[in-house]
Amino acid sequence: MEQENASFMKPAITSGVYLGLIGILISVIIWAGGLMESMGIWGSALIGIFNFVITFLLIFFFSKSYRNKFRGGFISFKDIFIYSLIMVIASVVIGAIYNLVFFTLIDPGYTERLMGVMQQKTITYMERVGAPESQINKTMEKFSEVPSTAKSIINGLVGGLIIGAILALISSAFVKKNPDIESENAYR
């Protein structure tokens, strides 16, 4: 059991590093391309969905690869979930470190600029659909407080862990493969 745990951690952390680096690459492309600013509210939602799908597919891919490479094609739900969760934790920590560097050194004013662009796009959209002035003002109050770097990083950590754990649960349900059940089905 001890050797199983030892072989468990290194591949999980390695996969988490890859997952985190891929997430950083996507973030850099979005930032460098100005995608969040140019696409507006609905574009932001599409980017979020894209990130969600890519993250799920990567967790699934890394988990399945681990099962096949290190476990002979079979693994319990519990074991693959723990592997996936360790991978997610490593990825989220790497993402938080990147965000700290990004928000403090690379582009400290990014959040304020993005909030300003989103505010303007929201006003334009609400005016176009004929929203009353009181509703527009109420919505704009939400844009008045720009989150601090620390709050953004903490929100990213918590959100990443929660969403990552959910994706790990779902992925683990697909990746698990118990040898006794599989061999039993082969004889039917």
Q: For 158-171, how does the pLDDT look when each residue is reduced to its tens digit (9 = 90+)?
A: 999 999 999 999 99
CA 14 – CA 157 distance, rounded (Å): 19
CA 59 – CA 164 distance, rounded (Å): 9
DSSP, res 109:
T
Domain annotation covers residue 185: no
Domain annotation covers residue 172: yes
Domain annotation covers residue 182: no
Domain annotation covers residue 115: yes
DSSP string, 142-164: TTSSPPPHHHHHHHHHHHHHHHH
Domain annotation covers residue 187: no
Q: What domain range is 133 assigned to?
A: 2-177
Domain annotation covers residue 186: no
The amino acid at 114:
L
Q: How much is the pTM?
A: 0.84
Number of domains present in the structure of the chain: 1
pLDDT confidence band for 4 (50 / 70 / 90)? low
Per-residue model confidence as pLDDT tens digits over 23-59: 999 999 999 998 888 887 778 889 999 999 999 999 9
CA 48 – CA 160 distance, rounded (Å): 12
CA 175 – CA 6 distance, rounded (Å): 21
What mean pLDDT is reported for the chain?
88
Domain annotation covers residue 155: yes
Domain annotation covers residue 183: no
